[in-house]
Amino acid sequence: MVKTASAPRPALRRRGENPIASLTWPIFIELLLQMLVGNADQIMVGWYDPNSVGAIGNANQITNLLLIVFSVVCTAATILISQYIGAEDTRRVNETYAVSLLVNGLFGLGMGLLLMALCGPIFTLMQVPPEIFGETCLYIRIIGGGMVFQSVFLTYTAFFRSSQLMKESMLISVAMNLLNIAGNAVFINGAFGLPALGAAGAALSSDLSRMAGVVLIALRFRRRFGPVLKLDLLRPFPRDQLRRLLRIGLPTGGESLSYDLSQICIQSICNGFTLAVINTRVYANLFAMLSYMFASAVSQAAQVVVARLMGAEKTVETSRSVKRTLLAAVSISALVSTLLWVFCRPMLALFTQDAQVLELFQVIMLIEIPLELGRAVNLVMCRSLQACGDIRFPITICVISAWLTAVGGGLLLAVVFDLGLVGLWIAMACDECLRALLFLWRWHGGAWSRKRLLSM
């Protein structure tokens, strides 16, 4: 197969070199910046009205859940395109571009409409406190109106990552976040004579920044790859490519869906406590993301490299790469989570002076240390197994452990044994550590090395 500019294929590194290291940092920056689109809303709205933090925290639980729908296609596209590049199959690469963008665009429109129509019943089931119920619904309706921009942007990001061009989407994420922060400053507090919109202004700013991001990344894609997105690729419709995307994406999306549903249940349990406890969980999740983001960036870089190596049928190099990646992820997560615990009180004091929140937050961040160690292993091993084509095992383990250990154990410790938020966090740490052990056992068994994803 002759390679063309439509599928740039950066050369695999020489023996002994690890491409994951150079791919991780732009993914880390991009993930951090994407997270800030939502979390900048919480921080800046918190300065305007502290109670609005809980409103946006509850809304983000739902939006994070719906983003899994987009990840079904994005994750599958990343794995498939990477393996096709490893196998030097340019035609299949271009078909996957077209199908992925079409399907995720439709998903974005559909999910946005559902958010706007069903937010009331959803937040009633989640037992959102009455004092923030209306604001939570308004915020998520505005976010839902721009959900299609998020789905399209994430799809383009998957295309760049598949070709190991992580810096491209990272730079656009920088621009998006600068726009979002500027928009927050204008719309939340009502600058330049505009009315102060609070949480609604934060949602409007997020939508506008994501729309700008789609325009920028689409233009960059065409300049970098050429006119490869053509309607001719969809006539006749490449059903086999859609089938592969769904066969990979649905189970991998199911793993994320199970986890996020369990987090919504945990949020519902947390909503039965005081507003101070609800806000503590929001802040704890925000700070924990600093540790989580690095492990996630490493695992996503590993997924691209592993998929390309497996597409070229280089299993020995795959094993060596995953071992190095795992060591780096665990080491950095241990360091970051420990530093967060040591400095958690002065850091949180920048956002709140509530003594009850500060005291509880310090205990939660101590439990975060073992939780993040387990999560680092889970992220690397789960995505590596998926990239090799070992799809079913991760979702089975994640569903069972998330619901029995995190939700069931959390309910037992938080409510029955009256440990509150501390009990919820202990249960989540046990869930992450249990899954980590099971994933390591699966990788050691070697079943991944016998998978052939492109022949599915």
Burial of 84 per CB tally in 10 Å (0-12, 13-18, 19+): buried
Distance CA 45, CA 41 (A): 6
310/58: higher pLDDT: 310
Which pLDDT does position 6 carry in this prediction?
Answer: 43
Residues with Cβ < 8 Å from 421, sequence gap 6 or more? 270, 273, 277, 280, 281, 360, 364, 414
Identify the three-state secondary structure at position 238: coil
Q: What percent of the chain stands above pLDDT 90?
A: 27
Question: Tens digits of per-residue pLDDT, 333-386?
Answer: 999 999 999 998 888 888 888 888 889 999 999 999 999 999 999 999 998 998
Which pLDDT does position 136 carry in this prediction?
Answer: 83
Amino acid identity of 125? L
Task: Evaluate whether 217 touches 71 at the Cβ level (below 8 Å).
Answer: no
Closest CA to 63 of 141, 172, 128, 159: 141
Sign of torsion over alpha carbons 446, 449, 452, 453 = positive
Q: Assign 34 a pLDDT band (cuts: 50, 70, 90).
A: low
